[in-house]
Amino acid sequence: MCFTSAVHAQKIGTITVKKEKSTESSYESADHPMKQEYMRGLFYSAKMKDERVHNPKFQFLKRSSRYYFYFLNDKEVCFFRSRKKPRHHFNHIHSIPMKLLDEIGEYEIYDGELYIEMKSVHSNQIFRYTGQANSKQIWLGSRSAYQKKMQLDVYLTKCTDQN
């Protein structure tokens, strides 16, 4: 799977994931076992209009924030929204306050296909994300919660010390 520039794709509003032509099958078999992959670090999106605000007094305001996914280890991931720059969170990644987190859960990646199952910190709702991933970028295609599926089309880029 190849990804094109996430920043360019978000500016023009199109999906630009290119699939390389191959004869490999995308299911597990004796000849082609599924290869599990692992993610590490902080991934962030471009600025997005956020419909939901934590404080009920300011619920009418629509703020632009970024989506952040922090992959803790080989299974765990947490999700939060923030208006701060990726550089700030990258430098303070080990001190993210619990009140900032929106969802916590587990993830699996097999041959570039990403599946995340997360539980909301603020309610009992469970969300499932699907998409594609490599070591530097993630594309989230959908988010579903109990019989409700929402198309996302969100690109996330890995945060490094150069961001």
The DSSP string of 77-99 is: EEEEEESS-HHHHHHTGGG--GG
pTM reported for the whole predicted model: 0.70
Q: What are phi and psi of 12, to 5 degrees?
A: -95, -10
Q: Fold for domain 42-54+62-163?
A: Lipocalin (2.40.128)
List the domain boundaries for the chain: 42-54+62-163
Q: Three-class SS of residue 118?
A: strand
Which residues in the chain come in under a pLDDT of 70?
A: 1-34, 50-63, 163
**Residue linked to tokens 């509003």:** 13
pLDDT of residue 100: 86
CB crowding 10-28: b at 16 or more within 10 Å, else e: beeeeeebeeeeeeeeeee
